[in-house]
A and B are shown apart, each in its own frame.
Chain A
């Protein structure tokens, strides 16, 4: 099996609970932020994104919050399901920089 994420911080929640995954970034010029989900053996998959002119954006069961003052990003997952178990990465970029810079990731484990 895939050994990616062996030493990542882990968040363990009960099925049906809400999950909050946090991320700090350092580049004050970043204007685009994104959350990815990565399941074992697969590439990262887009979950939700937000631009710096917003502080909150909602999707289906997911919400991203952006606090530019303290350079903090969070992902909230409502009614967490076993299928949400994965490693979650935040990433950011700015208009002048062409590549996404990734955070180190958090493993979410959902207990049935």
Chain B
């Protein structure tokens, strides 16, 4: 049972490049989330999807888009990467008002 799987694990982008971070969960959870974590800070919510077919903005959505492709997969897209988006990105899933399960993170550097 893999839980939450994120790809890639590491990525270096040049300013202005685009990329998509992939996330998949195998726990049949309805809700999925994207957080970013900067040094010295907690996790901040970028976007979430409460159920298949819905997405909502979180605390820091600017510069990002998301797609809930199906119940398993939730992707995060950076259309034009900026150095301020250098961070560690975590995907998570939840089955209800319970604990969230996290992936191992994607370490993104924008130069």
Interface flags for A64-91 (1: CB within 8 Å of B; 0: not) read 0000000000000000000000000101
Q: When the two chains form their complex, are residues A46 and B97 in contact, meaning their CB atoms are under 8 A apart?
A: no
Q: When the two chains form their complex, are residues B98 and A32 in contact, meaning their CB atoms are under 8 A apart?
A: yes
Say whether, besides A4-B37, A43-B90, A104-B42, A49 and B98 are in contact (CB < 8 Å): yes
Cβ-based interface call for B2 (8 A): no
Say whether, besides A32-B97, A99-B58, A44 and B102 are in contact (CB < 8 Å): yes
Q: When the two chains form their complex, are residues B99 and A34 in contact, meaning their CB atoms are under 8 A apart?
A: yes
Q: When the two chains form their complex, are residues B39 and A3 in contact, meaning their CB atoms are under 8 A apart?
A: yes
Cβ-based interface call for B19 (8 A): no
**Chain B contact residues: helix, strand, loop or mixed:** strand
Say whether, besides A3-B39, A5-B39, A104-B42, A43 and B102 are in contact (CB < 8 Å): yes
Closest to B104 in A: A43
Expressed in whole angstroms, the Cα–Cα distance for A32 and B44 within the complex equals: 18
A residues within 8 A CB of B35? 102
Expressed in whole angstroms, the Cα–Cα distance for A43 and B14 within the complex equals: 25
Q: How far is the CB of B91 from chain A (nearest CB, A)?
A: 9
Q: Please report A residues at the B interface, Cβ cutoff 8 Å.
A: 2-8, 31-32, 34, 41-46, 49, 89, 91, 93-95, 98-105
* Top 3 A-B pairs, shortest CB-CB distance: A7-B40, A43-B102, A102-B42
